[in-house]
Each structure stands twice: as C-alpha cells, then as structure tokens.
Amino acid sequence: IRGFCHLYSGQEACAVGMRAAMRDVDNIISAYRVHGWTYLMGVSPLGVLAELTGRQSGCAKGKGGSMHMYCPNFYGGNGIVGAQVPLGAGVALACKYKGNGGMCLALYGDGAANQGQVFEAYNMAYLWKLPVIFVCENNNYGMGTSAERASSNTDYYTRGDALPGIWVDGMDVLAVRSATEFAIDYVNKNGPLVMETNTYRYSGHSMSDPGTSYRTREEIQEVRQKRDPITSFKEMCIEQGLITTDEVKAIDTKVRKEVDEATAQAKSDAELPLSGLWTDVYSQCLEPKIRNCVDYNLKHVQQSKGVNH
C-alpha cells in the first residue's frame, strides 16, 4: 500500500454504533479513515482490500485507494481535511429536497474541527434546518499534534454556536448507538446537531508515522488494556451470558480466515490498465472544448453508473 493509509483501529465502536442506528434512507460521508465504514455499508472484504492495493476488483476499481471508497448511501472518504463536512450538508439538503425522510452523518476529526468550512457548514445547515448530524470523532490527536495544542476549546460538541451538541463515549458501542438513535430523531424534526465521540486511534498515518513521536507507547498500551472497544464489548457480552468464550473464538477464527483469503486474492488480482484511468471519471460522457488546451486523443469511457448517481 503506497502513500498514506489511515487505519480505524481503536475507533471501531464509533462506526459500528452509528451504523447500527442508521436506517435504509440514511447516508454517511467521512474523511480518510473509511475502510471499516466501507465494509459496514456493504462492500466485501475483498472490495476493500483490493481497493487498498489498487486492483480492478476494488470497490472503486483500484482508482480510489485508501481514502476514496464508495458504495450506495456512502459518499466515501475525502483527502482534503474537513472538505467532506459541507458535502455532508449537501447530502442532507438532497434528503430534505426529495422528502425521503433520510439524513446524513458528516464525520470529521478533532483536527478538521478547526477548519473554517466546518463552521460555514454549521451556519448554513442551521439556517436551512438540514437533517445532518455533524459528528466530531475526537481521537485526541491530529496528524502530529494533540488536541490541547491545536484547539482553544476541546469540547467540540459545544462549538456549534446555535446548534445543540451532545458528547458520547466513543469507546462504548452501545452508547454510540443510543446517542445516534437520539440524534437521527432530533435532526429529522429540528435540524442539525453536533455529536462528539471521544475515542482513540492506535495507528499513525503511514509507514513514516509510527504514531509514537507525539505520544508515548505507554499511553497507547494503557488505552488498549483499559478502554479497547472490541475487548470491552466482548467481555460485556460474555458477562451477560449473551455469548460464550468458545463462540467468540469461533467467530474470530472465521473472520481471520475470510480476511486472509481476501488479502491473498487482493494481492494477486489484476491492476488497473492504463486505459482504465479515464474510464468512469465523469457521470456523463461530455468532452467539452477547453480554450488554450492542447488536443488529446483520450476519449472518456463510461462503463458503469455511479453508485450514488
């Protein structure tokens, strides 16, 4: 995997909790940590892993890579910090315009929360009473800066000005689901809301970012031991008699086998040919003449309809 690769490990309760509360008419748009969301919204493990490795069997045919995966009702990731937030407001506007009862989750991190376009989206969404939940996934660190060093106000749920806000433990999947259910009902009746999920990421941003130059290994290990969302939920289910230890082991074995097989196939599948680079770039095959541009002989080809067209 070349370049940046933003993993979601440590933040699983956020995505799973929100997805569990979503209805068929609801939508989501996020930033760059979208691998888990892509799977939750219906793409197979192979579709995700093949996209990561730039293969034709990827959900975006290998052209999206780590940050740009899409499927129905999932408007993908975005490589520009905070740029997905106003787009999420736009998706919510479409829901209101169509009158389909849907809403949009617009996810962003604590680093993106300082972007001006986020506040512009808040303002417009409030004025138009759009059904959008602005979700700040506060994992406490930007790319290399702690939230305390970058933000004068780290209570991100209070930043909406006229928008109400709620705070939720982003390491508790049931708390996230409950908060999202409330938020969906609220925004459909009243307009936008800000929801902060306090969470933690284990990994850095790429091979060049081990994630330990701006925090200690001991800090990461402590969170893993005391607050890991998967371990906490698993232990709760076992304690409540909802599942046995043997059943957990069987699920783990099955999942690992499925992922290993998908990984092997993703590595061996064909890469995108050169001609595929100008295939399905536009929603319509338009070839307008552009002034002062040198003529080219690359004809745009449309093979499939966009998933959210």
What would the pLDDT profile of 217-253 be if each residue is shown by its tens digit?
999 999 999 999 999 999 999 999 999 999 999 999 9
Mean pLDDT over the full length of the chain: 91
Residue 264 reports pLDDT greater than 90: yes
**Closest C-alpha among 269, 205, 243, 210 to residue 33:** 205
Residue 42 reports pLDDT greater than 90: yes
**Which residue would you say has higher pLDDT here, 8 or 159?**
159
Domains for the chain: give ranges and CATH numbers.
12-265 (3.40.50.970)
Distance CA 70, CA 33 (A): 13
Percent of the chain at pLDDT exceeding 70: 89
Distance CA 114, CA 26 (A): 26
**Which residue would you say has higher pLDDT here, 298 or 162?**
162
Please name every residue paired with 291 in a beta bridge, in sequence order, or none if there are none: none
Task: Please write the tens of the pLDDT for every residue from 63-80.
Answer: 888 889 999 999 988 989
Q: Alpha carbon of 231 to those of 80, 193, 224, 270: distances in Å?
A: 32, 30, 9, 37
The answer to whether 163 and 101 are in contact (CB under 8 A) is no
Q: Highest-confidence range of 1-5, 69-73, 173-177, 277-281, by mean pLDDT?
A: 173-177
**Which residue would you say has higher pLDDT here, 259 or 2?**
259
Structure confidence at residue 186 (pLDDT): 99
Residue 268 has phi, psi (to 5 degrees) of: -100, -15
Percent of the chain at pLDDT exceeding 90: 72
Structure confidence at residue 294 (pLDDT): 61
